[in-house]
Structure 1
Amino acid sequence: MSAFSLNRRRILSLWLPRLPIDRIKRQFGQNNAELDKTPSVVVAKQNNALQIHALDDAAVRCGLEVGLPLANARAICPELTVFDADAVADAKTLGDIADWCDRFTPLVALDPPYGLFLDITGCAHLFGGERALLQIVSGALTRRGFAVSAGIAGTSVCARTMTRHVSGKIIADGEEADAVSPLPVFALGADAAITSGLRRAGLKTIGDVAARARHELSARFGAGFTTLLEQALGQGDAPISPRKPLPDYIVEKRFPEPVATEGVISATLSRLAAMLVTAMDRQGKGARRLEASFFRTDGAVRTIMVDTGRPVTKAEMIDRLFRERLDALNDPLDPGFGFDLVRLSASRTEIVVQQQRDLDANVHDNDELAALIDRIAARIGGKRVVVHLPQDTHIPERAVMAVPAQHHLAAAAQAAWPERTESEPPLRPLRLFEKPEPIKVPFATVPDGPPHHFTWRRVTHAVVRVEGPERIAMEWWKQDGKALTRDYFRVEDEAGLRFWIFRDGLYESETRGAEEKPVPVNWFVHGLFA
């Protein structure tokens, strides 16, 4: 299928209020009975004091709450177990849960700090309806040790407002205002200053706030709060920002029982490749980037991506590229207890341009070369297969640029390189160093000439033949005011080795008393001739 059919918009909101403490308990094991009995909290430094950032059920039963200073909490509950907050680990855990939620819809967005939005428009029927989908998601997260509150509504703000106060609610279209009106004003998620101002004005519920004129609210609390209120009441909507862009084409296979054998997985990929090619062929497109996602029963998700140099329109080519990629993985694909979903998507596609292939033999050669590059890139990585393109510059180290062959093969075939006759000696060495290497040159009696001796890599070379100089001025607009001039020489030592050396900068002179002495400059070797 190319995209989801958009009917009425439905958003599933997930809120994990105790994510930091739930994450830590999962690290110690979900069956740690001693840790479950002991009140546990996560603390973070706020206003130069350690305050409770998250807490478990046992700590709540002791009368502790979020925002309470740690010193007060220890006075109330001396046996308290304290952990330090780790925002990076919490964000990673939330991202892992978002990856797991991709099995229900690819439109998953973050709702910081501990929430998620799932756009389930047009796909809830695949799981037995909205109620069944809500129970599946909530039940799976609860079994994995997370406290979760979930709700479904027509707008993201309305769904989020419900989950902050009550769990398991499904609000039909047009009933948003009636559903959120009894809720307290803090459920809107507005700034603390705005919430306090509403309470001081006697507005304790969302219904009380909604009864006031919009211009009064805007004048007192700003237009942003008015917009938030309207979205919670279902009178407006704000689009969510998915973590990943929606692929152009998606095909997937769900298994009633988890599969773990390599043969079944390979056969599933082959069938999905055929389905994907059929869907793309209807619109005359081919895939340039393919992603295969494997969803394990324990929540782990493994995604493998393959790029192609040209649009791929054959299922056997897709199958072969993924076989190459899977065989070359340093971390093999571990099915664990099995995969319950395999998804294949084309995240980037292009229109296929038909070419005359019967009379032009070069077209077939180019296709074979592009296929070979794709296979090698799938095995060792696209950045390791490069072509070189000439650049319009006289600077030797910038005259050639290495680029990925998959994306610049056509440009490399049409590149215009300078030609040289067979009788003409090479002006540039075959081997050019990435960075010029310094050499030691004794002070020359003729400042503008080449050295008679130089030392490179602890070996001294006596110069017997010289060609040059070839003066190359640096590009002053790229040197940050340090534009230097290089004089290149082709030199040969007494052993027959030929070097390409240059002097960085021109010789200048300085006056010391009555004498005028030249100031030395640096010498480098830039390449070697064959």
Structure 2
Amino acid sequence: MTHPVSSPILSPPQTGRRILSVWLSRLAIDRWRLSEGLAPGEGADAAPTALITETAHGPRIDAANAAGLAGGARSGMMLADARALCPELAVAPSDPAGTYDFLEKLAVWALRWGPWSAMDAPDGLLVDVTAVAHLFGGEARLLADARDRFARRGLAVRLAIAPTAGAAWALAHYGNGAPILPGGGDVESALHDLPVAALRLDQDVLTVLRRLGLKRIGDLTARFGEHAGRDALHRRFRNRKSPAANPLIRLDQLLGRVPEPLLPVVPQEMPLVQRRLMEPIRHRDLLDQVLGDLAADIARELEGKGQGARRLELGLWRVDGEVVIRRLEMAAATREAAHIVRLFSAKLDDVDAGFGIETVRLRASWAEPLALAQADIEAAAEEHGTSLAACIDRLTVRLGPRAVTKPVLHASHIPERAQRWQPPLEPEPAAQGELAFHARPLKLLDRPEAIAVLYASPDGYPQRFRWRGEVHEVVRVEGPERIAPEWWREKGSARLRDYYRIEDQAGRRYWIYRAGLLGDGRGGVPDWFLQGLCA
């Protein structure tokens, strides 16, 4: 069984390189139709249909079938506007994550035409077909074979082959002539009449170019092909580091002058073991025995690959066709069979075996390198010890996947932002600068609570305050510690804070602050809050 993973490489322009661009122009709607088991124009696909996403302003259309497009529905249009044009428009929920996963699997399937393939999200693929076309009888037959295979899968595609990924993409999306650009030809002349949108630029950049009168690639190369012209365009876009925001970078990638980084999808075998039982089982002790055998099997599989499991999936196939899935995610890579069995045991208490379980499968859907280690001769001494990772795994299974976390410092002077929570074994983030704080209380409230304060003047020390229905007399005050708002994160109306450490008549100490100053122009009378309890 394969699991596609991405491995970054840099694919520089080379003499003789050939790239196949596959544009699945109706990917989302085709995937929806296939999931419904429909042929093109059959059943629900014959009626106007659109895939929608819920937004703050109402449902928005992500894709529409042929009947929906004919009725006026377009991608990006609000559903209310589309139904004004086409009242009979039916809808189905959009699934971007599922479409991305489907595209990833297609990238693995497309390896039949070349040594590597890459995703060209959101709806395309790039396949390296350098020096392989002769295996199909030439590039024309290779394109015919690809077009036929995609058609048999019920997917609408447009294909093109060119010396660079950018040129192949431009031909597949905007080319109206031959879909093959010869390697020895002049790429610039062949793509002269294509619109500037063929350069894969952001929409705001395309708007700027059109306002400058640059509507075709030929206009761009003619006016800015010389050194002086390139300097003028470079000055306008010099702050744009992303290739999609800089037409000069995209043009050079199109013509093969600079390398373009590509991210191939590499199929990786994931360990999987299973048992098809001669007789269905219904009792827990028998299930535990099968689980122990599978854990030992997958431990051997992982050891042979030099890996450890981070996520495991246990599937139980019942006689009546129902499938029960239990997932487990570990804090650190492991291939210890006893530890795996112990963690899964807590997840099998609520399993309903029905008329019996006939197949049990265990799969490591996420694995990481784990070096082989020599066992300790004094193994008996280890039986009484538990590693930190194993302890965290047990707590996570018992308390929930998000119950075990650790605090890490974060560069912020605002107390409630000065720390964040992350999984316990993840490395701490790099230092973001040293922050010198005054003494802070050990206990902060989940959120500051409003209090009523009596003071001699609006900017003076507090003398008495009411908190949770009780009045406290202030006998000692230390402060203030002033903290300005973080203007780069908050609105302009955010007010500064003056913090005070105070003690009441009973000797209890609190950490309170005044939000704002009288007459600061950012609100009325300052408010007071209690945020922490001091030792």
TM-score by length of 2: 0.50
Quick one: structure 1 residues 374 and 415, their matched pair in 2 at CA, closer, same or farther if it must change by over 3 Å?
A: farther
Relative contact order, higher structure (CA 8 A, sep 6+): 2
Residue 349 of structure 1: how far off its partner (Å)? 1.7
Correspondence 1:264 to 2:275: no
The code of the aligned residue for 1:370 comes to A
Deviations 1:185-238 (A, max 9, x none): xxx8689xxxxxxxxxxxxxxxxxxxxxxx9xx9879959xxxxxxxxxxxxxx
Say which SS state the counterpart of residue 267 (structure 1) adopts: helix
The match for 1:447 among 458, 461, 469 is 458
| Contact 1:246/1:347 (<8 A) preserved | no
Given candidates 478, 481, 485, the residue that maps to 2:489 is 478
How far apart are the structure 1 equivalents of 2:456 and 2:32?
79
How do 1:431-470 residues align onto structure 2 when only pairs under 5 Å count?
431-442=443-454, 444-470=455-481
1:313 paired to 2:372: no
Task: Give distance in 2, aligned partners of 1:16 and 1:470.
Answer: 59
Instruction: Note the C-alpha offset of 1:526.
Output: 0.4
* Distance of 1:391 and 1:365 partners within structure 2: 37
1:303 aligns with 2:335: no
Instruction: Mark the CA change 1:507 to 1:17 in structure 2 (over 3 Å): closer, same or farther.
Output: closer
Q: Which residue of 2 aligns with 1:385?
A: 404
1:525 corresponding residue in structure 2: 530
Residues 508 and 519 of structure 1 are in contact (CA less than 8 Å); yes or no, is this contact kept in structure 2?
A: yes
Aligned counterpart in structure 2 of residue 394 of structure 1, from 397, 408, 413 = 413
Change beyond 3 A, Cα 1:508–1:19: closer
Supply the distance in 1 between the matched residues of 2:452 and 2:409 (Cα, whole angstroms).
Answer: 32
Cα drift, residue 500 of structure 1: 0.6
Q: Secondary structure at the match of 1:337?
A: coil
Give the 3-state SS of the residue equivalent to 2:453 in structure 1: coil
What's the offset of the Cα at 1:478? 1.6
Please tell me whether the aligned partners of residues 288 and 308 of structure 1 are also in contact (alpha carbons under 8 angstroms).
Answer: yes
| Contact kept? 1:390, 1:417, Cα under 8 Å | no
Structure 1 residues 494 and 313: alpha-carbon distance in aligned structure 2, compared to 1, 3 A threshold: same
TM-aligned CA distance change 1:19 to 1:246, over 3 Å:
same
In 2: Cα distance, 1:434 partner to 1:475 partner: 20
DSSP 3-state at the match of 2:305: coil
Instruction: Report 1:195-344 matches (<5 A).
Output: 248-327=270-349, 332-344=350-362
Q: Distance in 2 between matches of 1:365 and 1:471?
A: 52
- Using the alignment, how far apart are the partners of 2:491 and 2:384 within structure 1? 46
Give the corresponding residue for 1:507. 518
Residues 427 and 369 from structure 1, CA distance in 2 versus in 1: closer, same or farther, beyond 3 angstroms? same
Q: Answer yes or no: is the 8 Å Cα contact 1:390–1:415 preserved in 2.
A: no
Question: Is the contact between residue 247 and residue 346 of structure 1 (CA under 8 Å) also seen in structure 2?
Answer: no
Is the partner of 1:467 in helix, strand or coil?
strand
Among 338, 355, 364, the alignment partner of 1:346 is 364
- 1:376 and 2:381 aligned: no
1:429 paired with 2:441, answer: yes
Q: Distance in 1 between matches of 2:146 and 2:396?
A: 41
* Distance in 1 of aligned mates of 2:471 and 2:456: 18
CA spacing shift, 1:156–1:375, aligned 2, 3 Å: farther
> CA shift at 1:386, angstroms?
1.4
Secondary structure at 2:347's aligned position in 1?
helix
The runs of 5 or more residues in structure 1 that have no matched partner are 5-13, 23-40, 48-66, 68-83, 96-107, 122-154, 165-187, 192-214, 225-240, 421-425, 511-517
- The one-character-per-residue Cα deviations of 1:402-446 (angstroms, maximum 9, x if unpaired) are 2222x33x649x9999999xxxxx93223201211111224x333
C-alpha distance in structure 2 between counterparts of 1:472 and 1:355, whole Å: 55
Alpha-carbon offset, residue 519 of structure 1: 5.5
User: What aligned pairs does 1:484-503 form with structure 2 within 5 A after superposition?
Assistant: 484-503=495-514
Distance 2:497 2:400 in 1: 38
Deviation at 1:477, TM superposition (A): 1.7
**Residue identity opposite 1:498 in structure 2:** R
What do the CA deviations read for 1:55-90 (whole angstroms, capped 9, x no partner)?
xxxxxxxxxxxx9xxxxxxxxxxxxxxxx978459x
> Offset at 1:484?
3.0
- What SS is found at the alignment partner of 1:447? coil
Q: Counterparts of 1:274 and 1:502 in 2: how far apart (Å)?
A: 59
What is the number of residues matched between the two proteins? 337
Native 8 Å contact 2:48 2:90 kept in 1: no
Q: Aligned AA for 2:328?
A: V
Given that 1:389 and 1:402 are in contact with CA atoms closer than 8 Å, whether structure 2 keeps it comes out as yes
Deviations 1:339-386 (A, max 9, x none): 333221112222225599899xxx999952221111111222221111
Q: Which moved more, 1:253-262 or 1:386-395?
A: 253-262
Change (3 A) 1:415 1:86: closer
Instruction: Provide the C-alpha distance between the structure 2 equivalents of 1:350 and 1:483, rounded to a whole number of angstroms.
Output: 46
Question: Structure 1 pair 418/190, CA: closer, same or farther in 2 (3 Å)?
Answer: closer
Q: Shift of the alpha carbon at 1:501?
A: 0.3
Partner of 1:209: none
Residues 282 and 357 of structure 2 are in contact (CA less than 8 Å); yes or no, is this contact kept in structure 1?
yes
Q: How does 1:6-17 map to 2 (within 5 A)?
A: none
CA RMSD after TM alignment:
5.4
Larger Rg: 1
Q: Which amino acid aligns with 1:310?
A: A
**Quick check: 1:441–1:453 contact (8 Å CA) kept in 2?**
yes
Deviation at 1:268, TM superposition (A): 1.7
Aligned position for 2:57? none
Q: Deviations 1:261-306 (Å, cap 9, x if unpaired)?
A: 3233222221111111111112322111111122334443322111
Paired residues of 1:455 and 1:461 also in contact (CA < 8 A): yes
Query: What is the letter of the counterpart of residue 398 of structure 1?
Result: R
* Structure 1 residues 417 and 388, CA gap change in structure 2 (3 angstroms): farther
Letter in 1 for 2:414: I
Task: Provide closer, same or farther for how the CA distance between residues 367 and 401 of structure 1 changes in structure 2, counting only shifts above 3 A.
Answer: farther
Give, as a single letter, the amino acid of the residue that structure 2 aligns with 1:503: R
Q: Cα distance, 1:43 vs. partner?
A: 11
Amino acid at match of 2:411: D
- Separation in structure 1 between the aligned mates of residue 466 and residue 316 of structure 2, nearest angstrom: 58
3-state secondary structure, aligned to 1:428: coil
Q: What one-letter code is carried by the residue in structure 2 that aligns with 1:432?
A: L
8 Å CA contact retained: 2:514, 2:528: yes
